[in-house]
Chain A
Amino acid sequence: MNTKSIRNDWQLIESLIQENAKVLDIGCGEGGLINQLESNIMADTRGIEIDPKLARKAIASGHNVVEGNAEKDLNQFSNQSFDYVILSQTLQAMIRPKEMLIELLRIGNKAIVSFPNFGHWKIRSQLMLKGKMPVTNNLPYSWYDTPNIHFFTIKDFQQLCKELNIIIEKSIGLTSAGKQFIIKENSFGINLYTSEAIFLLSYKKYEPIKIQATKKSFVNSSVVTS
């Protein structure tokens, strides 16, 4: 049975994940996305959620969810224990987004990050024409009560990934009308009309270098290579 996505980025997130993968959803809410991933692609899921009421709703619907703060409590997950770690629409609300990004790829082999693009033309024009902090459908909060404390654009994010040696495997943009497209680096205009972006991230995988042992150099030592 195909569970329909409630949010338009969830379908895209699902398309980035392989079947039967082990997935951690950070800020999983009442478990909507993990529910979708469990029933559609048989993912083995875990979730962490800061709001106790939402966490309990997720638990009561049968998901493995722990109540916790993503900025303090991720150390309970061990290195590379998940295939994918998802951070959907929350990076901009983190106190230390850079450390969060590093943490995602410590726990997961790959990370999926989605965020609202502050470089969207509507936001730019509001700031330029009205001279006030922008309020849009996608970012509906006033400056004083917004949970979003770190605004950034697609360009900013690409730059940070470069700085951290993180590889962008895939990136997908969504316009405010819900149209999706592949984000290419330096493609003109993308930063203007993407309202929401989803990135699939990983570190470069290095192939181990194989050294052929010669009997001459190792014959008398205790070093054994295979």
Chain B
Amino acid sequence: MVDYGIKIETNLKLDCEIAYFSKANFVIDSGYKFDDFKIAYKTFGKINNDKTNVIFICHALTGDQFVSGKNPLTNKDGWWDRMVGPNKPIDTNKYYVICSNVLGGCIGSTGPKEKNFITGKPFGTEFPSITIRDIVKAQKYLIDALKIDKIFAIIGGSMGAMQVLQWTIDYPEKLLNAIHIAGALKHSAQNIAFHEVGRQAIMNDQSWNKGNYYFENTKPERGLSVARMIAHITYLSDDAMHRKFGRKLQSRDIISFGFDADFQIESYLRYQGKSFVDRFDANSYLYLTRSMDYFDVVEKFKQLIEYPVTNNQHINYLIISFTSDWLFPTRENKQIVDILNYNTRKVSFTEIETDKGHDSFLLDEPEFDKTISGFLDSKYKKLIG
């Protein structure tokens, strides 16, 4: 029995559920303790009687719980609507899909913009530094609150893939299958470098005001949008950018001899930056990029897999990478495969050929969809007989 309080409420504005935990005594890696915290989540499909059809999806850095259907905040399709839904590759006629906003996020879960239950004011930079391990631990609280004993499959790309790995390390007994897309055992120096540039852009924006901007008229919009522009470049590839934009000019026939957005790529990036600030909190961006930077489970994972009597031998791993992904390249994904195969674990691996870069997992890639649905459906068939 749990010795902390759980209360689940429907939030009409966010069109999702929020689980409130009280007296939880949730100690995170930095040593900080959350007594009260909340996790916003959304579910799709129906859970079956034996609770054997649960799929937990971990979102990426700027994702949210609106994996499928309409996102009520942007009025656009959910970030993986192409993949998740009735008769889609992750078929919600069959599976019960749960997606929660990460700890430190800004769409309803406890994070820097939410009220500190102790002071009654928004956390701002008083919010403790969090890790991927903390994010996963909070998700485990949610799974327990929903009284789910086994997760049929855990799936995530990018920062979501980091959470998948962390789940297999910390709570393997809860999992049957793990799909890891475009991730790595550690965040590379190059990736930390890009994150740092993004954070500097935010923190050098006057309106950031050391993180206390929630009661001001202005938000660090310029800083956050620059951070997003930089990050967005890393999600694409040279080839894809060339194919999509080339050197095409934006709404003009000749160059302006000025610093307007002459080129389509400039205008595209500015638009990406601008639309991002409407839906994301700058402090959350700082905290979540940091949690990725701190991620390094190389030794931990190796030890765990090599140890002969761990309770994660039953997990079927599927590792997927993309040829043009230079943020989490194939060789980094392959490292996981090598460790698993060296210890004769159950692992499948494929590299999808595409020029769409790191973001490929969000875009239309039929081969990728087929692999995921085939993997899930064949395992599910075996499970229910």
Instruction: Give chain A's interface residues, CB within 8 Å of chain B.
Output: 22, 46, 52-53, 55-68, 76-78, 81-82
Contact = CB atoms under 8 A, between A and B. Distances in A.
A76 B337 contact: yes
B342 A52 contact: no
Contact of B378 (A53, A61, A67): A61
Nearest to B319: A66
B337 to A, nearest CB: 6
Given A56-B374, A59-B348, A81-B344, 5 more contacts: A58-B348, A62-B382, A64-B348, A66-B350, A77-B342
Contact of B341 (A46, A52, A57): A46
B337 A82 contact: no
Interface string B331-371: 00000011001111011111111000000000000010011
Contacts of A55: 350
Interface of B: 316, 318, 337-338, 341-344, 346-353, 367, 370-371, 373-375, 378-379, 381-382
B259 to A, nearest CB: 44
Contacts of B374: 56-57, 59-62
A175 to B, nearest CB: 37
A76 B338 contact: yes
Nearest to A67: B350
A60 B341 CA distance: 19
B347 A59 contact: no
B368 to A, nearest CB: 9
A66 B347 contact: yes
A53 B371 CA distance: 10
Given A59-B318, A62-B382, A66-B349, A78 B344 contact: yes
Contacts of B382: 62
Contacts of B371: 56, 59-60
B342 A60 contact: no
B337 A66 contact: yes
B367 A63 contact: no
Contacts of B344: 22, 46, 77-78, 81-82
B350 A76 contact: no
Nearest to B317: A64
Contacts of B350: 52, 55-56, 59, 66-67
Contacts of A67: 349-351
Rank and list the top 6 A-B pairs by shortest CB-CB distance, nearest first. Answer: A60-B374, A62-B378, A66-B349, A76-B341, A76-B338, A59-B348
A64 B375 contact: no
8 contacts: A52-B352, A59-B348, A62-B378, A64-B346, A67-B350, A76-B341, A76-B342, A77-B342
Given A52-B353, A67-B351, A59 B341 contact: no
A60 B316 contact: no
A60 B375 contact: yes
